[in-house]
């Protein structure tokens, strides 16, 4: 159904639009902090990591940070075949680096990249035609109606919308109710029989076995705002915002990050930086067992610190 709806959404948009590819951009801003420049034995690295997480992380309301689990399938539309294939291959490579299973040719996309020359209009058309694809009305599954309106009207070069699902980490089954779960279907009013159940393996006020997993990401690319960028930069930017819940208003100017691509395009990184790789690697290595949301961020920060150590070690080998 989602693939059919997406095809209908794209019917009125220009197809096979070539993506302009520019030469590599200038070196990064010298005032930005590179991960390898930070003193790794002192307090400063921990502080910088926590500040980076606080700036860029955008979990759903009252939920922990979500990530993909298992396999992902990347699809791209409204681009030349070569550009679309490059984006799909590069984002899939980042997925593989994070321990995910990239989809095979012909898979049903759950990371959907769409290029257009009018992103505001396309975003609104997509929402109007398939509102349940963006908001499934389950608790903790998206950032809410106000955020969706900002997505539709942002006017940004690249915008994204993600849907996640609270799941039982032991079974992979969803742990939130959806519309229709409350129907008793003739069960004598016992609607609870049709709602999701999570069987707790251990009782604890500090830990949880319910995790948040991403399962759908829309990325819209405004082709009118790609001047001067390389396709490598665009691909890595899309990967960063597809595999983590990134705040579109985050100010990352203090860090050497691909997230600065549109705020400082002349001095942007050529691809994912050590900060970006450490953030993604730490997010995907974390156990996510903490029930307290702040403690959960502390756990991910520690995981990012460990990932930084591995990156540093690899660079020295």
Flag whether 307 is in a domain: yes
- Residue-wise DSSP of 173-233: -B-S--TTTT--TTSTT-GGGGS-----SS--SSB-SEEEEEEEEEEEEEGGG-TT--HHH
Find all residues with CB under 8 Å of 297, minimum gap 6, and list them.
50, 53, 54, 57, 65
Flag whether 237 is in a domain: yes
Number of domains making up the chain: 1
Flag whether 290 is in a domain: yes
Domain that includes residue 197, residue range: 33-173+186-316
Predicted confidence band at 204 (pLDDT cuts at 50, 70, 90)?
low
pLDDT of 150-196, one tens digit each?
Answer: 999 999 999 999 999 887 766 666 656 666 555 554 445 544 444 45
Q: 165 and 67 in contact (C-beta within 8 Å)?
A: no
Angle made by CA atoms 68, 106, 88, in degrees to the nearest 5: 55
Flag whether 27 is in a domain: no
Flag whether 43 is in a domain: yes
Cα-Cα-Cα-Cα dihedral of 121, 123, 126, 129, to 10°? -60
Q: 9 and 128 in contact (C-beta within 8 Å)?
A: no
Flag whether 90 is in a domain: yes
In which order are the strands placed within the sheet that holds 111-116?
74-77, 111-116, 210-222, 158-168
pLDDT of 51-80, one tens digit each?
Answer: 999 999 999 888 888 999 999 999 999 999
Q: Which of 135, 141, 136 is nearest to 165 (CA)?
A: 141
| Mean pLDDT of the region 285-301 | 68
Q: 69 and 34 in contact (C-beta within 8 Å)?
A: no
Flag whether 235 is in a domain: yes
pLDDT of 89-106, one tens digit each?
Answer: 999 999 999 999 999 988
Flag whether 180 is in a domain: no
What's the number of CA atoms in the CB half-sphere (13 Å) around residue 193? Answer: 8
């Amino acid at each position: 159904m989602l693939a059919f709806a997406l095809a209908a959404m794209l019917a009125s948009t220009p197809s096979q639009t070539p993506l302009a590819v520019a030469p590599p951009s200038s070196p990064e801003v010298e005032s930005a902090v590179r991960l390898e420049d930070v003193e790794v034995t002192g307090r400063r690295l921990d502080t910088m990591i926590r500040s980076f997480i606080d700036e860029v992380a955008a979990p759903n309301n009252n939920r922990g940070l979500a990530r993909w689990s298992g396999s992902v399938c990347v699809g791209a539309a409204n681009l030349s075949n070569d550009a679309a294939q490059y984006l799909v291959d590069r984002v899939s490579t980042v997925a593989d680096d994070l321990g995910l299973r990239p989809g095979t040719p012909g898979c049903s996309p759950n990371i959907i990249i769409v290029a257009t020359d009018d992103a505001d209009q396309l975003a609104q058309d997509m929402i109007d035609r398939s509102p349940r694809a963006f908001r499934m009305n389950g608790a903790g599954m998206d950032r809410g109606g106000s955020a969706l309106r900002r997505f539709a009207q942002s006017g940004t070069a690249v915008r994204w919308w993600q849907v996640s699902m609270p799941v039982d980490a032991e079974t992979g089954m969803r742990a939130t109710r959806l519309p229709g779960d409350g129907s008793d279907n003739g069960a004598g009013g016992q609607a609870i029989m049709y709602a999701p159940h999570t069987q707790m393996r251990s009782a604890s006020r500090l830990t949880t076995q319910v995790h948040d997993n991403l399962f759908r990401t829309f990325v819209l690319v405004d082709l009118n705002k790609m001047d001067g960028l390389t396709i490598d930069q665009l691909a890595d930017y899309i990967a960063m915002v597809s595999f983590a819940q990134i705040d579109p208003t985050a100010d990352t100017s203090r860090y050497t990050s691909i997230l600065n691509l549109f705020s400082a395009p002349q001095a942007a990184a050529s691809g994912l930086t050590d900060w970006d790789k450490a953030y993604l690697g730490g997010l995907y290595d974390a156990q996510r067992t903490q029930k307290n949301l702040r403690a959960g961020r502390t756990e991910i920060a520690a995981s990012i610190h460990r990932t930084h150590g591995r990156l540093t070690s690899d660079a020295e080998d």
